[in-house]
Structure 1
Amino acid sequence: MKLMTVLEFDINKIRRDFPTLNQTINGCPLVYLDSGATTQKPQSVIDTTADFYTHKNANVHRGRHSLSENATVLYENVRNQTADYFGVKNNEIVWTKGATEAINLVANGLKSQISENDTIVITPLDHHANIVPWQVLTQQTGARLAVMPLNSDGTFNIPLCCGFIEKNKPKLVAITQASNTLGNITNLNALITCAKAMGSVVLVDGAQGSMHLRPDLKTLNCDFYVFSAHKMLGPTGLGGLYGRYELLNTLLPYQTGGEMIQTVTLTHSTYRDAPAKFESGTPNIAGVLGFGAALSYLTQFNHDQILKHEQNIFNYAASKLSNIEGITLYSDLNNNIGTLCFNYKDEHPYDLATLLDGYGVAVRAGHHCTQPLMAHLGLSGTLRASFAFYNNHDDVDQFIKALRESIALLD
């Protein structure tokens, strides 16, 4: 097996690898602080997708000609690469359009296994994508939806949550690895241990945690884990589902058609085993290859160095932001993937976000697809600055300077 050379973490070189960062917006250098929505792409990802369409374009799994066979090898190699990244088997990785589709795939697939006597546990912290599919499943099956308790500040009291799980004995627990709004990291090990003791199936939304935290899923011991390529430096329109192989094969197929079938007659069809069972139709081949390039880019650095840099930038930004009078921070600053959720006095977050854009600063404003969390916190919306390892101290300084000047305009 060929060992990959681990590169030194050089932030200046890294920033040059991301062409989108090297531009001006409204006459100002771009300060991109919306990686929680989608990460920027290194040139290698852009080049890989372009190269596929330019030189290697063919459908996979179906042709006996060289282009198709070569594309199939490249495509399946990325499945192996993704399995290695998460510490699982390659037949436990299913390609989807993203984390949202992956959750829907599981919810739909479990339909025949859920009854009116079952309970599904969700949390107020989660993205709508990890709430609505479970609402629909309970409506379809008569099962009960139970909401895990959340502290007033958006953190979990683990003993209280474990007691809640023990009391409800849920069939399934759906929970996020890290909040897309607050950036708070969930103590998954403790909660999964509690859930497993009750015989629960556990699905983890890893959309925010997959790049920052790089979990070993076998050690984590969840049953399902979903991720989105575009939040891991990869292309949009692609994501995946990890599932324990024996559990994957018990799920009903989410979509039917070509590729996922074993046999078809005019009156009956049989399906292939996972992962093919869930991959009907022509896949996003270029997206998969681009995601492979993204994983190669990520794994060329020591992950601890990435984490150290991200936390350094996050702590620097949190300190600067906390010193602005009138700012209220809602994120857990001690246990965070690098996201600052905040408001300024009673000003509408959209107003501040618009003013910041005038200085080239890109932040998110609104409810961030977490309306239950906003209601829990007593808010209608917030501003969100989400950092990644390609941000630097200059980004923070420009952000804080632009924020102060925007506040002065409002005051």
Structure 2
Amino acid sequence: MGKFEFDIARVRSDFPILDRKVNRCPLVYLDNAATTHVPDQVLAVIANHYHTHNANVHRGAHTLSLEATGYFEKARERVAEFVGANRKSEVVFTRGTTDSINLVAQSWGAANRKSGVAVTAMEHHSNFIPWQQLCRARRKKLGVVPLDSSGDLDLDALEVMLRKDDIGLVAVTQVSNVLGTVNPLRDIVELAHRFGALVLIDAAQAVRHEAIQAHELECDFLCFSGHKMMGPTGIGVLYGKASLLEKIPPFAFGGEMADRVDAIRSTFQPAPLKFEAGTPNYVGAIGLAASIDYLKGVGLSAIRLREQELLRYAEKRIRSISEVRVLGSPKRRAGCLSFAVEGRNPFDVAAMLDAQGIAVRSGSMCAQPLVKNLDVAQVVRISPAFYNTFEELDACIAALEETVAMLPPALQG
């Protein structure tokens, strides 16, 4: 089943939660597209900061504040290197991907009142609703780029939209959180730029296993969250080209982001500080940097290869179960796959799997437009991470087969 550059038993030992039991069964955690677990190494960095360096950043001349500020800004440097930014000032710390997207929607939207936005039919609500609401408020067009029957993006339709409509920005996920479709970002960026549109990439589902170099790709904005990549919750990143971050205004106001304030007017710090109003989640940023170090220590290429094999194995096994339909067959799939069980309620399926210690996701995945297009009401999703094992997938498949047998369609309401 493939050889990798790391020892899976050693890696799993970094995540004690994987040894716990749920409903008296060994935990099989297959909901990593929602949130990954945090290794002891990252937790130790967070605890050490609170134990030895904790103080508010950018505000004090005392030793602890200077130390905390230094670690915070070193974290920014680590993230900038990780995403391929030209400089650390292109990295803004936020509360998560959703916060990053809303920041761009409000800030770019305030500076670009004449342009519409194109999103894709596979977007998470976080990369759909902010643009929908912006376009409604501005009375501008929201274009929704359709998918083909396999679950891949229809680039011809995107080109028609860019050619015909006044589209100022294309918002696209790197990897679908429902189908696992890996979008051809280079083609999308080149196409959008040819027509003068910016590109925002939601990399939340990709950041752990589909590395990206933002400057090389020439995308304009890139967003992701720490909790999808073995980091803490409540911390996210917005990468933006320096030229854009300098031009667009802040939309949240408060301490630290201000430069000069009087009763008449205020001026603001340069980016990224002008977008980080109030006390930032500096410990979260430090924890995020530690998670980057951890992932690089394990090996980003090894992580990608292992997760690809886990997902291929899971898809092959699930497709063999009668009455189960795997959704989509994109050219490239990463991170997750979703399926429907004929006549069964996805929440019932997930609950029966949970009764055997198996954690999966059920529902619309916060992607209702996509799920409706798939002609299902809700789905079940599995999303393995590199710390999962093939034996855990076997346990999940066996439990799913048992669930299908025990939960006949006639019992569903």
User: So what's the TM-score if we normalise by structure 2?
Assistant: 0.95
Secondary structure, aligned partner of 1:342: strand
Contact 1:33 1:386 in 2 (8 A): yes
Which residue identity lines up with residue 96 of structure 2 in the other structure? G
Q: 1:162 — aligned with what? A: 159
**Partner deviation per Cα, 1:284-338 (whole Å, 9 max, x = no partner):** 1221111111010011133222111111111111111111111100143641113
Give the Cα separation in 1 of the matches to 2:314 and 2:402.
16
Contact 1:162 1:191 in 2 (8 A): no
Contact 1:331 1:339 in 2 (8 A): no
Q: 1:114 — aligned with what? A: 112
Q: 1:315 — aligned with what? A: 312
Contact 2:361 2:382 in 1 (8 A): yes
Contact 2:33 2:335 in 1 (8 A): no
Give the Cα separation in 1 of the matches to 2:391 and 2:331.
23
Give the Cα separation in 2 of the matches to 1:48 and 1:331.
40
Give the Cα separation in 2 of the matches to 1:313 and 1:203.
29
Number of aligned residue pairs: give it: 404
Give the Cα separation in 2 of the matches to 1:223 and 1:346.
44
**How far did 1:122 drift?**
1.0
Secondary structure, aligned partner of 1:314: helix
Q: 1:25 — aligned with what? A: 22
**How far did 1:400 drift?**
0.8
Q: 2:267 — aligned with what? A: 270
Secondary structure, aligned partner of 2:356: coil
Give the Cα separation in 2 of the matches to 1:315 and 1:280.
43
Q: 2:141 — aligned with what? A: 144
**How far did 1:162 drift?**
2.6
- Asked whether 1:368 is paired with 2:340, we answer no
- Asked whether 1:339 is paired with 2:336, we answer yes
Runs of 4+ in 1 over 6 A off after TM superposition: none
Question: How big is the alpha-carbon RMSD for the aligned residues of Structure 1 and Structure 2?
Answer: 1.4
**How far did 1:11 drift?**
1.2
**How far did 1:126 drift?**
0.0
Contact 1:318 1:333 in 2 (8 A): no
Which residue identity lines up with residue 230 of structure 2 in the other structure? L
Residue identity over aligned pairs, in percent, reads: 40
Q: 1:127 — aligned with what? A: 124
Q: Which of the numbers 70, 91, 107 marks the counterpart of 1:73? A: 70
Secondary structure, aligned partner of 2:178: coil
Q: Which of the numbers 90, 93, 113 marks the counterpart of 1:92? A: 90
Q: 1:198 — aligned with what? A: 195
Give the Cα separation in 2 of the matches to 1:331 and 1:277.
42
Give the Cα separation in 2 of the matches to 1:333 and 1:378.
17
Contact 1:184 1:335 in 2 (8 A): yes
The within-5 A match list for 1:214-229 is 214-229=211-226
Give the Cα separation in 1 of the matches to 2:306 and 2:208.
14
Q: 1:207 — aligned with what? A: 204
Contact 2:96 2:237 in 1 (8 A): yes
Q: 1:4 — aligned with what? A: none
Give the Cα separation in 2 of the matches to 1:115 and 1:226.
22
**How far did 1:32 drift?**
0.5
Give the Cα separation in 1 of the matches to 2:264 and 2:17.
52
Pick closer, same or farther for the CA change 1:246–1:16 going to 2, 3 Å.
same
Which residue identity lines up with residue 247 of structure 1 in the other structure? L
Contact 1:153 1:377 in 2 (8 A): no
Structure 1 unaligned blocks of 5 or more: 1-6
**Partner deviation per Cα, 1:151-183 (whole Å, 9 max, x = no partner):** 234221333433332332511111110101111
Q: 1:298 — aligned with what? A: 295
Q: 1:3 — aligned with what? A: none
Q: Which of the numbers 391, 395, 399 marks the counterpart of 2:388? A: 391
User: So what's the TM-score if we normalise by structure 1?
Assistant: 0.95
Q: 2:411 — aligned with what? A: none
Secondary structure, aligned partner of 1:300: helix
Give the Cα separation in 2 of the matches to 1:272 and 1:330.
47
Secondary structure, aligned partner of 2:207: helix
Give the Cα separation in 2 of the matches to 1:37 and 1:214.
18
Which residue identity lines up with residue 72 of structure 2 in the other structure? Y
Secondary structure, aligned partner of 2:123: coil
Contact 2:152 2:331 in 1 (8 A): no
**Partner deviation per Cα, 1:138-157 (whole Å, 9 max, x = no partner):** 12222211111222342213
When structure 1 is superposed on structure 2, of 87-96 and 49-58 the one drifting more is: 49-58
Give the Cα separation in 2 of the matches to 1:60 and 1:242.
21
Which residue identity lines up with residue 256 of structure 1 in the other structure? F
Contact 1:32 1:363 in 2 (8 A): yes
Give the Cα separation in 1 of the matches to 2:44 and 2:81.
23
Secondary structure, aligned partner of 2:65: helix
Structure 2 unaligned blocks of 5 or more: 409-413
Secondary structure, aligned partner of 1:146: strand
Which residue identity lines up with residue 103 of structure 1 in the other structure? I
**How far did 1:252 drift?**
1.6
Contact 2:205 2:335 in 1 (8 A): no
**How far did 1:55 drift?**
2.0
Give the Cα separation in 1 of the matches to 2:10 and 2:29.
17
**How far did 1:407 drift?**
1.7
Q: Which of the numbers 25, 35, 38 marks the counterpart of 1:38? A: 35
